[in-house]
Amino acid sequence: MSESSIVLISIAGMALTLGVVVGVPAMILHYIVQWRKAGSLKVEDERMLEDVWRAARHMERRIEALEAILEAQAPGWRRGREG
């Protein structure tokens, strides 16, 4: 084997080692960071979700009030709807 072949094999071995030792962990860490970013809600999304939750609770209270009024004015109104 010539000296130039040994040098080329050594350089290729070092490049492969560097790629495995540095490149693979860097790639794994990169995708972990991307995964964590995608998994969390943004501040605007959290506010919107809170607004929707608040509106749903408000509608639920209104529906319960309407059902109480209907029950007082027309007892048994649900029986016709339930099967």
- Does residue 49 share a domain with residue 33? no
pLDDT class of 81 with cuts at 50, 70, 90: low
Give the other-Cβ count within 10 Å of 60's Cβ.
10
Question: Which DSSP helix (H) or strand (E) runs through 13?
Answer: helix 3-18
What letter would DSSP give residue 82? -
Measured between alpha carbons, how far is residue 80 from residues 45, 59, 74 in Å? 41, 23, 11
Q: What is the pLDDT of residues 5-53, one digit of tens each?
A: 888 888 888 888 888 888 888 889 898 888 888 877 788 988 999 999 9
- Does residue 79 share a domain with residue 48? yes
Domain that holds residue 36: 1-40
- Does residue 70 share a domain with residue 52? yes
Whole-number pLDDT of residue 82: 57
Structure tokens at 80: 């016709």
What letter would DSSP give residue 19? I
On the question of pLDDT at 1 being above 80, the answer is no
